[in-house]
Structure 1
Amino acid sequence: MGIKKSIMENMERLNFWKRKNVLVTGGNGLVGSHIVEELLKSNANVIVLIRSKNPKSYFVIEGLNKKTVLVYGDLKNFKRVYDVISKYEIEYIFHIGAQPIVQTAVINPVETFETNINGTVNVLESARLCNSVKGIVVASSDKAYGKYDKLPYTEETPLKGEFPYDISKSCTDLIAQSYFKTYDIPIAIARFGNIYGPGDLNFNRIIPGAIKASLLDETLDIRSDGKMIREYLYVKDVADGYLMLCENINKSKGEAFNLSSGLKLSVLEVVEKISEIINKKIDYEVLNLAKNEIYEQYLSTEKVEKFFGWHTKHSFEESIKETVKWYEKILK
């Protein structure tokens, strides 16, 4: 029964995306690359808007750049965004492009606000002006909620980020809601926790950092006190969640959905688990330097389960093993 259901779901996905014109902003990043990969499997016409090329990215290493229409442009440039959506008669948009790094946002808040907030306005306004667009999924984050003592966060939890990155995602989320409510544009919002997997080149993040330290026999620097608790979600589950929301846009439009794994771990627990999976001790040093970060966050996925029966498909152990294989290719 499980196999039959999986085959049916794959056929439905193929039928939905076949020959559709799909724009993925930030399509050469961690999440964007895996969305592109899934769309290509379903024979979509994929247009990728990026600011610059990274030869070490999953997007390039896995050859996705050779199978897509690659367009260069800055999300802050409204005319460029509009021209891309208009020229390629885009039907569906995954707005993933952003400045995604918390500490970079602290150092350069203006660039973060302009990219994440104005960039979202430019994408949604361009979509409003182009009659071809049938559905949009906008990337939000668990950081959009800000800090609350009551956990887990549900979709009804008010959005009140405090620090630059968090605020930028709160605004992104609210702007998407405004465009749906004001203009009835079919928009769904995806709120995720910490994402990991093949293609993450930010080695300041705990999972890529721990794997890199293990492969190169380095000491891992832990910026926090090691006790911060987060949920960790495999990037292939993330891509599946994005496609699922867009495939069901008539039901998901106007709604925000938490998508998460339910796996809650402290930073030190993550290091310990990776060490167990790869059967190698990882040396680390706790620096306790992290500022402007929320101590504990995790999400309720009751809504997305109720609406669509969605849940993750990959275990942490299986996902880490696949992720390690990818890093072995690029680091050794």
Structure 2
Amino acid sequence: MVDWQDPTTLFLSSRAFVVMFHMFFGIYLLEFIQSLGFDVDCIFGRRHRWGVSTTIYFLARYTALAGLAVGIRAVNVLQEIDCQTWMYAAYSLAYAGIAFSLALLYIRVAELAAWKLRVVGPLALPYCAYCALAVTGVIHVGAVAVPELLMCGPVLSTHSGRQHNANTYLPFVAAAFALACMGLMAFYLHYRGRRFVVSYLVYRGVHYVAFIALANLVAGIFVLAPLNDAASQAPSVLAGVFTVICATRLQRDIFIDMSDGAEEGLTSQPIAFRGTDSGIELRVTIHVEQHAARDISFDVVRGTDQEQKSKEEKEDVKEEL
């Protein structure tokens, strides 16, 4: 068995944490830069009319970026700083970014459910629980300077011996909330009677929510494991990055769909073809939904055959008379 509190193990774990934190920051920064043009279009009104969801989208992206930037500063200490203050700032901004990202999922589900109280009411409970635990978790965060690694390290952020605090349960609450959103999204999208369900759900972003749930679930398992703070917190950082990236990508796809002129919901465009010789009327109704597979239903009406036969019978009767 590995002694995770051994000084050598702590040193190696902390070094690995610093390397992984820089890697996670690079992943988020790359995603941020790639989608920066979309932000500029939104600000100048070329993409989407500014609203509540747009505000939350920007808050999620920029608070997460600020939290990671503060974290980078905290793990690169070239001269003495107040580690406790920097750690408070890093955790506060990071948790705020995740909370705003989860709010985007909440809004998406609420829109699919037409803001029905029986859906948005119960779904608000785990979200409020996450926000309350996040505030409590920031209070429990501690920090210590590690001169050998030129960094500030979090201490007792998840557990002290066998005593767990709010930070321990945050990933599980986020995973439970994401699973609830994923189930409701899949239900309401499938309830519309779409074909090619798997492909359609991918188009509508359910896979993003699944990634969020999986990442937070794995992070929660590491937090519960009897590891040191450096080893247990690395998956939590990755889960936070995944949560913000997936939630903002989902919202960005919705904005792009709306700016391209697609409306939320189902639209029908009937097209009719009539054959004069065969007496067959073919009506085609095309149901189009944004970025979804096209459903085409055909309705063949043969009523004109009977009308033609009745006319021929009447003409025969007249000739006999």
- TM bin (shorter chain): under 0.3
**Structure 1-normalised TM-score?**
0.22
Higher helix share: 2
Which of these two proteins has the greater Rg computed from alpha carbons?
A: 2
